Structure 1
Amino acid sequence: MPESSDKFLQTISEAVYSSNLNGKAITAAVSGGPDSLAMVHALHRTAALTRIRLTVVHLDHGIREEDSKSDAAFVKDFCNRIGIPCEVGSVDIPRIAKSRKLSIEDAARRERHKFLASTSSKFGSSAVALGHTSDDQVETVLMHVMRGSGLNGLKGMELISTRIMEGTTLNLFRPLLSISRIAVESYCAKARLTPRIDSTNLSVEFTRNSVRLELTPLMERYNPA
C-alpha cells in the first residue's frame, strides 16, 4: 500500500498498544460504511503485530428495508472473505420506536447498546471498537455545547472509555479518533474497499446529520482554517 496507507495502519496499531489492548479480544462494530469498514480492515491487517483476536458484529436496524438487509449481507460477506468471525443481529427499530414512544435515534441507540453488550460478553471481548473519526469528535462536542453540557461537554470522546450498557461494563475503543473522514475515504480507495452508503446519513431529520451537513459547513465558512 502507498505511504499514506502505511501511516494509517501505524496509527491504528499505536492506538491498540496505547489502549493496552494488544494481545486481547476486540469486537468491532461494523455498519459497512467507510469509517467502520476501514477500521476493521486496518485492525485485521495489523493483527499480526498487535496480536488481537478480532470479531465483527453488525446490527440490521430494519430502517431501510432491503438496503438494511443488503448492508448486513455485505458485512457478512466481507468478513467471510478475509476470515473474521462475524455475528449479525436484526431488530425492527421503527416498530420499537413507535411502541415505546421514542425517536428513531433513541430507539436505535438503545438497541445497539443491548446488542453490543450481549455480543461482547458472548465473545469475551476486552473492548468494542467503534469507527468514530476526528470529524465525529467535532460533531459530538458541538452537540454537547448545544445541549448545555458545560465544560465537561467540551472534552468529547476518548480513545478508550468505559460505559455501562444493559448492566454490562464495556470498554469502548475508538482507533480512528485522530483520523479525519477524508483520510478514511482515501484509505478505502487505496485498499480497494467499496463501503456501503447509508442514505439516512443524508437526512437532516437526525440531529447529528444536521450538525454534520448544516452547522459544521457554516462554521467552516467563518473559520476555514
Structure 2
Amino acid sequence: MIDAVKAYIAAQRLIEPGDKVIAAVSGGPDSMALLHILRDLSQESGFNIVAAHINHKLRPQAEQEQQFVEESCRYLQIACYSKTIDVRELARQNKTSLEDAGRQARYAFFNELLQQLQADAIATAHHQDDQAETVLLHLLRGTGIQGLRGIMPRNRDLIRPLLQQSKQNLLAYLQENQISFCLDQSNQDQTFLRNRIRHQLIPLLQNDYNPQITENLSRLAEIVRAENEFLQQIMLNYWTQLVCSQDEQGLEMDLEGFKALPLAARRRLTIMALSAVGGPAGWEARDVEKVLDLLPKPGSAKILQLKKGIMINKSYDRIIFTSNWQKADVFNIEVTIPGEVVLPDGSRYRFMLTDCNHINTDAGDVYLDYDKLSLPLVLRSRHQGDVIQPVGFAGHKKLKKYFNEQRIPFRERDRVAVLASQSGEIYALPGLCVCSPAAVDQQSQHILLIKRAADENNGYNLKSR
C-alpha cells in the first residue's frame, strides 16, 4: 500500500521534498488511512505534514470525533488544527443544502490554513470508489467529457494521493496496522444521491453486470483525463482567437467565429466561458444547450439567465457572458446653455453657442441650428415610442429600428443620450446622429455646439454623423 501510494504521488507530481502538506482528517477510515500513510511517507520522502479537522456540529458524535482526531495527531506527533462551524446555520443563511454548506465550510477552512501556514497542498482522502461514484453522479446529471474525468489527482492546491486505492485496500491497511477510526452514520443516509449511488447503484452494477465496475470507471476517468488535456490545448487556441474582451465581471466572444466551429468545440468553449464567469462547479449539459439554442434566434434583446446569476446575451457580432448585468440608470437632465451635463455613467457633454465660421466637423463635435430648437432642452434616456428623423432620411423612424440598424448592443441602449425638447421632439443623439429638424444649413446663423469630454468612460465611442 505505502509503495503504491508513493509511486502514484511521484507519477502525478503531487508532493515534492520540502513541501508542507495539510491532511484533511475527519476521523473516518479513509482520512485516518491518509493521515498514517502520509506520516510514514513524510519521514521517508522529506516533506512535512499537519492535520486539519472541521467540526460541522451536525451530529451528537461530532465533539467525540474532533477529540479522537486531535488525540490521534498528538500520538503521531502531528500538529492538528481544528475549527467548529455551525453548518446547519450556514446552510440556512446561504439558502443551500447541508451537503453544499459543509463542503464550502471545509474548503474555506483548508484554504485559510493554506495561507496561514504557507503550505503547499491540501491532501484529501478520495479513493477509487469515490472516483467511480463521481463518474456515475456526473453521468446521471448529464455531463460531457470533462465531467467523465471525475475527481482530479490535483486541482490547484488540492491533491488526492489515494485516488488509485480501493476502499477495500484502505480498510485492509487499517486492519493490518490496527488503526482506529470513527464511523459517520450520515454516510448511510440514502436521502443523499451520492449515498444511493454508493449503496444501491454500484452494488447492483457489480452483482448483475460487471464485478469490476469500480475499477473500470476509475480507468475511464484516467483515459478521459488524458484526452481532455489534449483537447483543452486545442480549445485554448480557439479561446485566444475568439475572446474579444474579458474582466472580472464577464467576457465577450466573437459570434461569427464561434458559429463557424464544430459543435463539439462550441460546447467546450461555452463550458469554458461559463466557468470563467461563474466558476467551474455545477454546470451541466443542459446549461450548454440553452446557450447554443439562444444563438440562432433573431434580435439582440434576448437575455438568457442561468444559475449562479450568470446572464448571456447575443448582441449582433458578440456573445456576452456576464455576472453583473446592470440596467443603466434612467436620466432626464435639463440643459443650460452655456453649461455642462454629467450623465450617471460619468459621460460629460458641454453645451455652448458659436457661429458658422467655427464649425469643424472633423473634431467629432455636434453642431445644431440653435434657432430651430424649442427650449429648454433635455438630455435624457430613450423613451418608449421615440421616433427620429436622421439627416438624409426622408421620413421618420422608430428609435428602436435605428438602434437595430446601427447595431447598438441591447445593454448599451439605455445609456445612449437623447437630446430633445421637453415636448419630445428629438434633435440629436450626440455621438451617433443629428436629426433633420435641428440640422445646420446655409441659412443658419446661431449654432449650438455640443462637445463630449475627452475623459468619457461609458465604453461607447462613436463619431457624430
The two structures share one fold, judged by TM-score above 0.5: yes
Q: CA deviation at 1:17?
A: 2.7
- Counting only pairs closer than 5 Å after superposition, residues 16-31 of structure 1 correspond to structure 2 as 16-18=9-11, 19-23=13-17, 24-31=19-26
1:223 aligns to 2:216 (yes or no): no
Determine which of 128, 133, 139 is the counterpart of 1:134: 128
Find the residue that maps to 1:194 and give its secondary structure: coil
Q: Which residue, out of 30, 48, 53, partners 1:53?
A: 48
Amino acid at match of 1:117: N
* Residue in structure 2 matching 1:112, options 106, 118, 135: 106
CA RMSD of aligned residues (A): 1.2
Instruction: Assess, with a 3 A threshold, how the Cα gap between structure 1 residues 145 and 20 changes in structure 2: closer, same or farther.
Output: closer
Q: Could you tell me which amino acid in structure 2 is paired with residue 32 of structure 1?
A: G
RCO (CA 8 Å, sep 6+): is it higher in 1 or 2?
A: 1
Structure that is richer in strand per residue: 2
1:99 is displaced (CA, Å) by 2.8
How far apart in 2 are the matches of 1:144 and 1:102?
20
**Equivalent residues of 1:16, 1:50 under 8 A apart:** no
Equivalence for 2:185: 199
Rounded Cα–Cα distance in structure 2 between residues aligned with 1:34 and 1:203: 17
**Unpaired segments ≥5 residues, structure 1:** 1-7, 163-170
Partner of 2:3: 10
Kindly provide the amino acid, as one letter, of the partner of residue 152 in structure 2: E
Give me the whole-angstrom Cα distance separating, in 2, the residues matched to 1:76 and 1:105. 24
CA–CA distance in 2 between the matches of 1:124 and 1:17? 22
* Structure in which a larger fraction of residues adopt helix: 1
Query: Which residue pairs with 2:198 in the alignment?
Result: 212
1:147: Cα distance to partner?
1.3
Picking from 156, 169, 176, the partner of 2:162 is 176
| Residue 42 (1) aligns with residue 42 (2) | no
In the TM superposition, what are the counterparts of 1:81-92 in structure 2 within 5 Å? 81-92=75-86
- Given that residues 30 and 56 in structure 1 are in contact (C-alpha distance below 8 angstroms), is that contact kept between their aligned partners in structure 2? yes
CA–CA distance in structure 1, aligned partners of residues 192 and 115 of structure 2: 30
What residue is the counterpart of 1:125 in the other structure? 119
2:158 maps to amino acid = L
Q: 3-state SS of the aligned residue for 1:205? A: coil
How many corresponding residue pairs? 209
Report the Cα distance in structure 1 between the residues aligned to 2:10 and 2:210, rounded to whole angstroms. 35
Runs of 4+ in 1 over 3 A off after TM superposition: none
Q: Mark the CA change 1:192 to 1:154 in structure 2 (over 3 Å): closer, same or farther.
A: same
Deviation at 1:22, TM superposition (A): 2.3
What residue ranges of structure 2 are gaps of 5+ in the alignment? 213-465
TM-score with structure 1 length normalisation?
0.89
Judge conservation of contact 2:14–2:161 (CA < 8 Å) in 1. Answer: no
Task: Provide, for residues 158-216 of structure 1, a one-character-per-residue CA deviation record: whole Å limited to 9, x for no partner.
Answer: 22222xxxxxxxx1111110000000000000111111000100001122111111111
The letter of the residue matching 2:119 is S
Question: Which structure would you say has the larger Rg?
Answer: 2
Q: What is the aligned-residue identity percentage?
A: 32
Candidates 88, 95, 99, aligned match of 1:101: 95
Once residues 137 and 20 of structure 1 are traced to their aligned partners in structure 2, the CA distance between those partners, rounded to angstroms, is 17
Q: Tell me what 2:172 maps to.
A: 186
